[in-house]
Amino acid sequence: MSVHIERNEAPVLPQATPLTLINDTGHAVAGDGTGGFELPEPEILKSLYRRMVVARRFDTQVTALTRQGRLATYPSALGQEACEIGSVMALRTSDWLFPTYRDTIALLTRGISPADILEAFRGDWHSGYDPKAHRTAPAATPLATQALHAVGLGTAARLKGDNTVALTFLGDGATSEGDAHEAFNFAAVWQAPVIFMVQNNQFAISVPLKKQTHARMLADKAVGYGMPGYRVDGNDAAAVYAVVSAAVERARSGHGPTLIEGLTYRIEAHTNSDDPSRYRSNDDVLAWKARDPIERLEKYLVSQNLLSEDDRSAIAAEAESLAGDIRDAMNAEVEIDPLSLFDHVYAEPRPALLEQRQFLADELSASEDKS
């Protein structure tokens, strides 16, 4: 089966100033700064706010549990709520998401339970959730590999004639990987219905962006591959939702991929084993905290009489209830069969894998005999 691929007009360089619809002070932006995009409907804005508040409580609770040793590791997404939730909310449930290890609050927004999200970080069982049930691939730890998977799925969907769109998250450091180049290139060549959401949180672990690329900005890379690129204020949930929604619609209509750079900041450390004070200043962190994505949307909603004290109390109660569920889940002892490590690796297990499985089975049996 083949698909006719049209040649689109050559894309132009995106604007350098990030597209913004609600600024740092909580005011709606007018004029060129919006790039022609409009504010989402009030119900969408309220949903974005609620989900960001709940997601932040999820993040702070999991970070606390990690410091207590309940999880092996946890890459916080604190400060990146607008990028992740604004993007996921632009998808239909029938679309696919290809996340990275930092995108746990995107998984939460996708409807995956906290206990299932955190199983992988506890080292318990595979990805922790059913990818097919949630149309969400296992969170990738290798950089940019999931972008190729998104292109593969999107291309297959197009060949089958359905209108599924794939969205994948990448970090700024991942754009330096060969897999990212291959994904961008083939998505454009095949006009795959894929959205590349690059969360530019300024650091690839400890390496600043200026040591990753000499390009003016990451969104510029889209032009070289022949697809549209946008630079968005990644702390403005309204702008992220609007731009990603337009890209999703474009992909669903058969007009190919889009690369979006969300300019944001990782407030917490890379993971619990990282010391960010060795490579960034506290003043930098404080400056970005002043651009908090939740506070700015809250200011806007309050100014428009779209958010009452009762609304805020109800959302806070929902967030605390979720935090309690997370604590209960992490306090529960989970019985894991170590041999399940070898399940679902291949449809037809290879001899070497079966040999390793038998070796572990013998070791476990010997341990039981000694006890």
- Which are the catalytic amino acids? 266, 270, 279
> What are phi and psi for residue 263, nearest 5 degrees?
-80, 110
CA distances from 109 to 9, 18, 104, 247 (A): 35, 24, 9, 19
Gap between the Cα atoms of 143 and 274, Å rounded: 18
Q: How far is CA 128 from the centre of its chain?
A: 17
The residue among 75, 99, 107, 45 whose CA lies nearest residue 236 is 45
Question: Would you call 82 helix, strand, or coil by DSSP?
Answer: helix
Tell me if 140 sits within 8 A of 101, measured CB to CB.
Answer: yes
Count of helices and strands (H, E) across the chain: 13, 7
Buried b or exposed e, range 239-267, using 16+ CB within 10 angstroms: bbbbbbbbbbebbeeebbbbbbbbbbbbb
Q: Which 3-state string (H, E, C) describes 259-320?
A: EEEEECCCCCCCCCCCCHHHCCCHHHHHHHHCCCHHHHHHHHHHHCCCCCHHHHHHHHHHHH
Gap between the Cα atoms of 31 and 44, Å rounded: 22
- Residue 318: how many CB atoms within 10 A of its CB? 14
- In sequence order, what are the beta bridge partners of 197? 169, 260
| Helix, strand, coil content of the chain in percent (nearest 5) | 50, 10, 40
